[in-house]
Amino acid sequence: MKKLAAPLIMLAIFETVAITLWLALDNIFYLFNFTYIGICIALGLFLYSVHFRYARLVVQLGVGLYMLLYLGFIDGENMQIEGFWFYLFSGVFEAATIHYAVAKIFGPLIFGRGWCGYACWTAMILDLLPFKQPSAPRKRIGWIRYVTFAVSLIFVAALFLLQIPNTAGIIFWAFIIGNILYYVFGIILAIAFKDNRAFCKYLCPVTVFLKPMSYFSLMRIKCNDEKCVSCGKCRKVCPMNVDMTDNSRKRANGTECILCLKCVDSCPQKALKL
Ligand code: SF4
Ligand code: SF4
Ligand code: SF4
């Protein structure tokens, strides 16, 4: 029963969001959408609790493929950052804007960058590459994310200011081309830096939202100083170079934590927990 507690709590949270949005917006899509995502996450938590090695991958594929293939390609909803700007400027509070509000802007106040660890369809592929732990220190090129963020904003603003026709069609193609570029640059960077998550660390524009909000995250890795023997095993396995042994909010790369729990699993002292 203990193993079911966390999955059921998570399912209840998502079901609350699903029912609230369904009733508030009178659209049954939100009931199916958030129920499905909640089930995927609850299943992943349960698989993790029974020590299934690929628990996180199950969630990544379940949520990531659903959003990329069904919502993106079949339903024509641009869930990339350009889609968010586009629907926001259009005054449409629908799937992409709600997705950003829940997963990437306000949700991180509760679950930090859980999106990056369990649901992102870009990272779903990058995490399959062989460079799971970075072998070199971080580069000081994180400023590039502000450039990609600005480019996405300027691109969509230009569509409105220049009154370009067929913006909906352009935004759909921007989704396809944007995803291809994300995968191509993500894989090139991973190979160049021998780090699967290099794209997340330096290029991804969404981190401009994710990082400041996740600074205040309710859910975060905590270290029991009395149990910790400073062996450093946790830091070696962290894909995001987080210093999780420092409990302060200002811990090194604290806003990069994707809650993958690799550090928790690696600690011989069981000093780390979520
Ligand atoms: S940083 Fe960007 S690409 Fe990486 S997992 Fe998060 S949203 Fe996806
Ligand atoms: S290894 Fe630990 S600190 Fe690093 S990203 Fe995963 S959960 Fe966060
Ligand atoms: S692995 Fe555990 S004991 Fe070792 S440094 Fe990390 S928290 Fe401390």
Average pLDDT on 12-21 reads 92
- Angle at which helices 81-89 and 144-161 pack, to 10 degrees? 40
Ligand 3 center from residue 259 Cα (angstroms): 16
Nearest CA to 173 out of 86, 61, 97 is that of 86
pLDDT value at 202 more than 80: yes
pLDDT value at 95 more than 80: no
At 128, the pLDDT band (50, 70, 90 cuts) reads: very high
pLDDT value at 192 more than 80: yes
Res 63: pLDDT:
95
**pLDDT digit string (tens) for 204-263?**
999 999 999 999 999 999 999 999 999 999 999 999 999 999 999 999 999 999 999 999
Torsion angle of the four alpha carbons 145, 148, 151, 157, in this order, in degrees rounded to the nearest 10: -70
Query: Which of the ligands is closest to the CA of residue 118?
Result: 1
CB distance 272 to ligand 3 below 6 Å: yes
pTM recorded for the entire structure: 0.93
Average pLDDT on 88-104 reads 86
At 25, the pLDDT band (50, 70, 90 cuts) reads: confident
Rounded distance, CA 210 to CA 214, Å?
6
Average pLDDT on 96-107 reads 90
Query: Which of the ligands is closest to the CA of residue 108?
Result: 1
Ligand 1 center from residue 116 Cα (angstroms): 5
Res 92: pLDDT:
80
pLDDT value at 50 more than 80: yes
pLDDT value at 112 more than 90: yes
CB distance 204 to ligand 1 below 6 Å: yes
For 229, residues 6+ apart whose C-beta sits below 8 A from its C-beta are 269, 271
Rounded distance, CA 263 to CA 15, Å?
29
Res 8: pLDDT:
93
At 226, is the secondary structure helix, strand, or coil?
Answer: coil
Instruction: For the chain, give the percent of residues with pLDDT over 70.
Output: 99
Task: Please name the helix (run of DSSP H) or strand (run of DSSP E) that holds residue 24, with its range, or none.
Answer: helix 2-25
Nearest CA to 57 out of 99, 117, 112 is that of 117
At 94, the pLDDT band (50, 70, 90 cuts) reads: confident
| Structural domain boundaries in the chain | 76-219, 220-274
pLDDT value at 120 more than 90: yes
Rounded distance, CA 122 to CA 161, Å?
30
Res 183: pLDDT:
98
Mean pLDDT of the chain: 94
Rounded distance, CA 268 to CA 252, Å?
22
CB distance 206 to ligand 1 below 6 Å: yes
Res 76: pLDDT:
86
How would you label 152-185 residue by residue, b for 16+ Cβ within 10 Å and e otherwise? bbebbeebeeeeeeebeebbbebbeebbeebeeb
Nearest CA to 30 out of 88, 123, 81, 101 is that of 101
**CA distances in angstroms from 253 to 36, 77, 142, 241, listed in the order given:** 32, 32, 11, 6
Res 122: pLDDT:
97
CB distance 124 to ligand 1 below 6 Å: no
Res 250: pLDDT:
95
Closest ligand 2 atom, CA of 260? Answer: 6
Res 237: pLDDT:
96
Residues with CB under 6 A from ligand 2: 221, 237-240, 242, 244, 257-263
Rounded distance, CA 181 to CA 176, Å?
9
| Phi, then psi, of 273 in degrees rounded to 5 | -155, 160
Spell out the alpha helix ranges (H) of 54-166. Answer: 55-65, 81-89, 95-99, 108-111, 114-118, 121-126, 144-161
CATH class of the region 220-274: alpha beta
Percent helix, strand, coil in the chain, to 5, is 60, 0, 35
Nearest CA to 76 out of 88, 65, 68, 84 is that of 68
Ligand 1 center from residue 265 Cα (angstroms): 22
